[in-house]
Every structure is written in C-alpha cells, then in structure tokens.
Amino acid sequence: MDRRSISVLASGHAMVDACQGAVPALLPFLISRRGYSYAEATSLLLVMTICSSLLQPLFGYITDSRSISWLLPGGVLAGGLGIAMVGLVDSHTMTLVAVGLAGLGVGAYHPEGARNANYVAGTKRRATAMSFYGVGGNIGFAIGPVLITLLVLAFGLDGIVWFALPMTIGAIWLASEMPRIDALRLAALGRSAARGASGRDRWIPFAGIATVAGFRSSAYFGLQAFVPIFLITGLGTSDAIGNAALSVLLAAGIAGTLIGGSLADRLGNRPVLVVSLAMVCPLVLALLAAGVAGAFILVSLIGFFLFGTFSIAVVMGQEFLPNRIGVASGVTLGAAIGFGGFVAWLLGLLADQTSLTTVMIVIAALPVPAFLISLLLPGENEPGTSTQELS
C-alpha cells in the first residue's frame, strides 16, 4: 500500500464530504436570515443527495471506460465553489444551482477516488486502504458544519465565500499529486494485464453486496437520526447528552472502520462482514432496555460493528466487478447512501404514525437481511473466486 497516495485520496475525500456536510449546517441560517421556508431549505438536501449520491454510479460508469484523473481535484474545486456561491446568491433558485454544483463535485470525486484507492492499495491491503479512504469522508462530514458555523458567525452569510479558499488550495495540492497516483494506477493495471488477472464480472454476487450496503446504510442513517432522540425522549436525558451519544456513535464508527479493514485483510472480507452484521441487531434491541450509562456502551459497540463494514462492502463490490470498479464504487458508496437517506425519511414518517420504540425495532431489523445475504456471498477462496480474479 502506498501510504502517501492513500493519504492524499483520503484527504480529498475529507474535503468533498466537508462540502456535503456543510449543507445541513446551512439550513438554519438560510431559514433565519433569508426567510426560506422549511420546504425550500430541505429542497437543498434533496438536490445534494441526487447530485452527490444517486449520480455516482453514472460517474463510475464513465470513468470505467476512461480514467479521468482531473475529476479528483476538479471535484474538490467544484464542491468548494458551489458551497461558496451560496453566500453570494440571493434567490432560492440560484441557491439550488450552487448546491447542485457542489453535489456534482462530490459525486464526481467518490467513484474515481475509490477506484484509485483500490489501485494504490497493493494486492493485500485493499480493505485497509479503503478504511483509510472511508475515515477521510467521516472526518470531512464532521468538519463541514464547523467551518460553515464559524464563517457565518464571524462574517455573516457573505462569509461563506471563504469556504472556497481551503478547497481551492486542496484541489491544487491534489492536482500536484496526480502524476504519482496515475503512475501507480497504470502500474497496477499493467501487472494485472500481464497476469491476465482482470477476471470476470459477477453481477449476481455484486447485487448481493450492493443490497447489503443499502441495508447497512439504512441502519446507519436511521441510527444517526434517532439515537439522540431516543436518549432525550426515551431515557429523559438532556439535549447535550443525546448529541454526545451521537458523537460516541460516530467516533466508534471511525475506530470500527479502521480495525474492520485491517481484520478483513488478515482474516478475509466475508467473515468480518458476517460477524459485524450479526452483532448489530441484538445490540440495538439491548439499547431499548438500557440505562444512560449502558446506552453509551451499547452505542459505541453499535457504531464499531456497523461502521466497520464500510470498507469491506466497497472492496467486495470492486472484487465482484473487477472490470467495472467505478460502477462498483458508485453503487456501494453513492447509491447505497442515497437509499439510506431515503429510508431514514421513511423512518421519520413511521415515527410520526407509531412510536419511537417501533422505529428503533425497525432499525434493529434492518441489518438482518444484510446478514442473511452476507452468508450467501462467495468468499475469497470459494469456487469461482480465484486469487487471480481478486488481484
């Protein structure tokens, strides 16, 4: 694994996901200072989700035909400029255009970034490399709201334009690193071609891992939305304690992503995936009966096991489609996230019609189909999956 290159790709991932994470933080300011309605404000989230997540398979399809390295610095630059434009425009229509530009930058970066993370990882550290890449995105989601809040409080809405500065610097840095990453990608493709090791695309197992990624993402977004609410409403804690539980969930998820990727490289992808998914349902159900202290322990374990499957699902998707790595990345990253966000919205509707307990039980059940499907997926050493095909 080329650590320098994976660090660059993970840093770019952090930058584009900071753009994505900035949008929810913008909404309260746009409502209070520009008079946007709730519908107008939340429409920005819809545009960001469509452009950044649901279009990723399309970008992956394009880059599978021809690698387009400039999408990496270009995606960061477009993301930063799009968010910065929100501070300069006045109309809701132009704000939608600005957020759409940012979303296209985010969507363009992810498949190409994940493809290159696969190539610079070497043959034995793919899950580890993908875990570093994924953690970069987690960090970016956390940084985006902080940057937006600091800029607005210091300079007003016009100050959002300064969001473009670090992203432009980052894009220039990424562009300077692209010759090294391109050389590693070409070398990896050359070695694969010399061995005749590209393998065949196996769409049925890929459909399985894509489904696993979708259910995992649904549980992920459901927990993000409802863990704080459960602690505040169900256990009677303060808002601060509820948000602290969310922070614990996310922090444990970062640890789980890193450790899960390392274990997958040592023990195999499928065993780690199966065990991790098996743990989530009973832990979420136990949360319903826990006190505050126990809830924090359970939340950390839930985050660790659920988020630990992130890099594994992406790598398995790439292995099942060795000739369509961009498409595999776009589906297991972007489309899965978009599906998860949609399910989280459905869970909100369910909560309005039933109860918080019912929603938590549904969230606990979401990883179960993923677990059952994971049992049926071919492993690295099973028939039809040769070492060459996975190289």
Domains of the chain: 3-195 (1.20.1250.20), 203-376 (1.20.1250.20)
Residue 14 has pLDDT above 80, yes or no: yes
- Mean of per-residue pLDDT scores for the chain: 85
Mapping DSSP to helix (H, G, I), strand (E, B) and coil, where does residue 122 land?
coil
pLDDT reported for residue 20: 87
- The single-letter DSSP state of residue 189 is H
24-33, 98-107, 235-244: which is most confident: 98-107
Which residue type occupies 339? F
Neighbours of 25 (CB within 10 A): 15
Asked whether the beta carbons of 101 and 164 are under 8 A apart, the reply is: no
Q: Which of 100-104, 256-260, 302-306, 307-311 is predicted with the least confidence, judged by mean pLDDT?
A: 307-311
Q: What is the pLDDT of residues 33-53, one digit of tens each?
A: 888 887 788 788 778 888 888
Q: What is the pLDDT of residues 273-294, one digit of tens each?
A: 999 999 999 999 999 988 888 9
Sign of CA dihedral 379, 382, 385, 391: positive
Q: What is the pLDDT of residues 171-185, one digit of tens each?
A: 999 999 989 888 887
Neighbours of 224 (CB within 10 A): 16
pLDDT reported for residue 209: 93
Residue 381 has pLDDT above 50, yes or no: no
pTM greater than the 0.85 cutoff: no
Residue 253 has pLDDT above 50, yes or no: yes
Q: Which of 131-135, 349-353, 383-387 is predicted with the least confidence, judged by mean pLDDT?
A: 383-387
Instruction: Over range 71-86, report the average pLDDT.
Output: 95
Nearest to 315 by CA among 60, 129, 67, 113: 129
Neighbours of 354 (CB within 10 A): 12
